[in-house]
Amino acid sequence: MEDKYINDENDNENVVNSDGRRRSKSVSFHSSASISISDRRVSSVSDCWRCMVRGNTFVKIRANARTYQRYFSLDEDLSFIRWVPSSKKPSKACISIDSIREVRHGKTTEALRAMKDLPLSFTADCAFTILYGENFESLDLFASSPEEANIWVTGLNALIGVQLNSTGNTDEQSSARERWLREVFEREAPSSSETLMDAETALELMQKLCGEGTANRIRQKLAEIDLQKADDKKGRIDSKEFIEIFKEISTRPEIYFLLIRFSNKDYLDLEDLQLFLEGEQGLACVSKEQCIEIIKQYEPSSEARDRNQLLIDGFTRFLLSEDCDIFDQTHLLVCQDMTQPLSHYFISSSHNTYLLEDQLRGPSSVDGYTRALQYGCRCVKVDCWDGPDGPVVCHGNTLTSKILFSDVMATIKEHAFEASEYPLIILTFF
């Protein structure tokens, strides 16, 4: 059943269902939707705070099941959350950061769990609750997306959990990451009074630090920076630009939000890591010695290692490592009963093994067989056709290129049992 939402700045109209029955109130006041998250790359607590200062439209839930759309923002001095419009005085439509006791993510209160008439897009990961005051009053909110909810939960938890300096910046842990990156940059950059690194060296270094699959994004960021430079400085970057690009490319928001959720700060200490491993990863009896070993193995900053702290880059490396792989490592080796008849097994097979691209006009190559066999494939396909100098392998009646049948057989002989000792099936069509 479709509902009508009445726009009203004076907060005195009801929402009615299409059959005319009155139901929960919802007030809309803001002409535009919340600012798109896609334009905001979150790589630090400061990024979250900047988004919060700009503000978002949330659905505010009352205990009586009434709903209101309100525009929430964080004061620039990071001291109050305020919302508009409101029938309250401006001094009342706000919450002091000092008064916040806890920030919860998800439908954790009765008021949120009782809501049945919200749009389907308002899922549990869009909900969060702010508990504040001596009596633990509850402010229950729905964001328009899980990303918005994560930004506010992360930012608020950081505000109540991290000791701020007089300028309102995060503590020195963000600097620890930057100091590590600056050391890496200066170690690789040529020595000069004005230390600059050429774009190709920066690309290779960032790829080495970030991992594979980031080259195009790094090139794009380097090109964007070049557009703002004078001709004599194009193609080179300084350490500050290197750090900014690296942080934007390498920081995965979902991992950063997870780190903050378990630590309320920009790093995991031993207790935080222990809680994460036991509470999130389901490990039992994790010792602090095990946590220290993880930090030593995955944290790239020597400064953080010495402090037994796991920064965002070390945490990301750990989560993407084999230690956190969902794949059961025992299955890297054959662990099944291999004495059954051949028809009892699923067999890793390759279709049109010789094709490297499309099957209409792409190239054929023996490299396709090499790759398939090295991946452990146990069934390959060979399409044989008559050629001017003997049989050839190709996709018949198409424009794909041709390779010699003898070359295919020689390649199969060379690589057939590199990855597996089990029988190889060759499907040959003439």
Q: How large is the average pLDDT for residues 191-206?
A: 80
Average pLDDT, the chain: 81
Q: Is 309 exposed, middle or buried (0-12, 13-18, 19+ CB in 10 A)?
A: buried
Tell me the CA distances in angstroms from 300 to 150, 203, 213, 312, one per residue in order: 26, 19, 20, 10
Place of tokens 């009155």: 22
Which tokens in the block code for residue 399?
Answer: 């424009």
> Tell me, what CATH number does 188's domain have?
1.10.238.10
Amino acid letter, residue 162: V
Choice among 30, 105, 331, 351 that is catalytic: 351
The Cα 18–Cα 44 span in angstroms is: 45
Tell me the CA distances in angstroms from 34 to 57, 150, 233, 275, one per residue in order: 6, 14, 38, 34
pLDDT of res. 162: 52
Confidence of residue 402 (pLDDT cuts 50, 70, 90): very high
> Tell me, what CATH number does 89's domain have?
2.30.29.30
How many domains does the structure of the chain reveal? 4
139 and 236 assigned to the same domain: no
Confidence of residue 292 (pLDDT cuts 50, 70, 90): very high
153 and 178 assigned to the same domain: no
Over 60: is that where the pLDDT of 20 sits? no
| SS (HEC) of 77-104 | CCCEEEEECCCCCCCCCEEEHHHEEEEE
Residue 222 domain-assigned (yes or no): yes
Over 70: is that where the pLDDT of 380 sits? yes
Q: What are the pLDDT digits (tens) for 104-128?
A: 888 888 888 877 766 666 788 888 9
Domain that holds residue 183: 173-250
pLDDT of res. 331: 83
Q: How large is the average pLDDT for residues 171-193?
A: 76
Which tokens in the block code for residue 361?
Answer: 């006009």
Place of tokens 């099936």: 425
Choice among 30, 344, 395, 415 that is catalytic: 395
115 and 91 assigned to the same domain: yes
Q: What are the pLDDT digits (tens) for 208-266?
A: 888 766 788 888 888 888 888 887 778 888 888 999 889 888 888 888 888 888 887 78
* Confidence (pTM): 0.58
* Highest mean pLDDT (candidates 159-163, 194-198, 258-262): 258-262
16 and 142 assigned to the same domain: yes
Confirm whether 395 is a catalytic residue: yes
181 and 277 assigned to the same domain: no
Confirm whether 331 is a catalytic residue: no
pLDDT of res. 173: 53
Is residue 142 within 8 Å of residue 127, measured between CB atoms?
Answer: yes
Going by DSSP bridges, is the β-strand pair 379-385/425-429 parallel, antiparallel, or unpaired?
parallel
28 and 90 assigned to the same domain: yes
Tell me the CA distances in angstroms from 341 to 11, 211, 310, 344, 420, one per residue in order: 74, 43, 50, 6, 18
Residue 335 domain-assigned (yes or no): no
Confidence of residue 27 (pLDDT cuts 50, 70, 90): very low
Helix (H, G, I), strand (E, B) or coil at 142: strand
Q: How far is CA 119 from the centre of its chain?
A: 26
Q: How large is the average pLDDT for residues 159-178?
A: 58
Over 90: is that where the pLDDT of 379 sits? yes
8 and 153 assigned to the same domain: yes
pLDDT of res. 41: 63
pLDDT of res. 194: 61
Over 90: is that where the pLDDT of 373 sits? yes
DSSP 383: E
Long-range interactions of 180-183: CB distance < 8 A, separation 24+: 180/300, 180/301, 180/302, 180/303, 180/304, 180/311, 180/313, 181/239, 181/242, 181/243, 181/246, 181/247, 182/239, 182/243
Give the range among 30-34, 60-64, 133-137 with minimum mean pLDDT. Answer: 30-34
Is residue 420 within 8 Å of residue 378, measured between CB atoms?
Answer: yes
Over 70: is that where the pLDDT of 334 sits? yes
143 and 7 assigned to the same domain: yes
pLDDT of res. 170: 47
Residue 255 domain-assigned (yes or no): no
pLDDT of res. 158: 81
Q: What are the pLDDT digits (tens) for 346-366?
A: 999 999 999 998 889 899 999
- Give the end of a domain, one of 293, 324, 355: 324
Residue 105 domain-assigned (yes or no): yes
Beta bridge partners of 15: 23
- Give the end of a domain, one of 140, 161, 182: 161
Over 80: is that where the pLDDT of 5 sits? no
